[in-house]
Homo-oligomer: A and B are copies of this chain.
Amino acid sequence: MFSKACEYGIRAAVYIALQSLDGRRVSVNEIAEEIDSPIAFTAKILQQLSRNNIIHSVKGPTGGFEIAREDMDAVKLNMIVKAIDGDKIYVGCGLGLKECNAQKPCPLHDKFVDIRTDLSKMLKSTSLFELATGLEVGLTYLKR
């Protein structure tokens, strides 16, 4: 569904949001540890998110990553997915034709579009804050 990079990106963003709720800035090392991801690869992904203004980074001692409280509401999953995986899951054809096109649809088009629309709506309506709170209460997990 999502690339590994995107999965790490979402997990990382949720963890940063959770810690930012406590006013804590976190380092790549801590993030990678807490979401069980490869450190250097995770660093690359965080750079992408930072460049896309999804998370905020601070260099130097006491630096790290954080997300402002308002941004946790404003940042929806679709923004993270788009920043990392691009829009292929939104415009791609389920059977691999150049692009999805209702004028010349593939045999699976109608059924595929239904699913994709649901997915898209879900991603557009799910905020980082929402995901972080489940974690905070101990209902959900970022690693096992």
Q: Which residues of A contact B (CB under 8 A)?
A: 1-2, 4, 7-8, 10-11, 14, 77, 89, 92, 94-98, 101, 104-109, 111, 114-115, 118-119, 122, 126, 131-132, 134-135, 139-144
Q: Which B residues touch A111, using CB under 8 A?
A: 122, 126
Residue of B nearest to A14 (CB): B107
A108–B131 CB distance below 8 A? yes
Contact of A94 among B2, B92, B95 (CB under 8 A): B2
State the CA gap A92–B143 with chains docked (Å).
14
Question: Chain B's nearest CB lies how many Å from the CB of A136?
Answer: 10
State the CA gap A14–B1 with chains docked (Å).
23
Q: Which B residues touch A101, using CB under 8 A?
A: 144
Q: Which B residues touch A115, using CB under 8 A?
A: 115, 118-119, 122
B140–A92 CB distance below 8 A? no
Contact of A97 among B89, B96, B98, B144 (CB under 8 A): B144
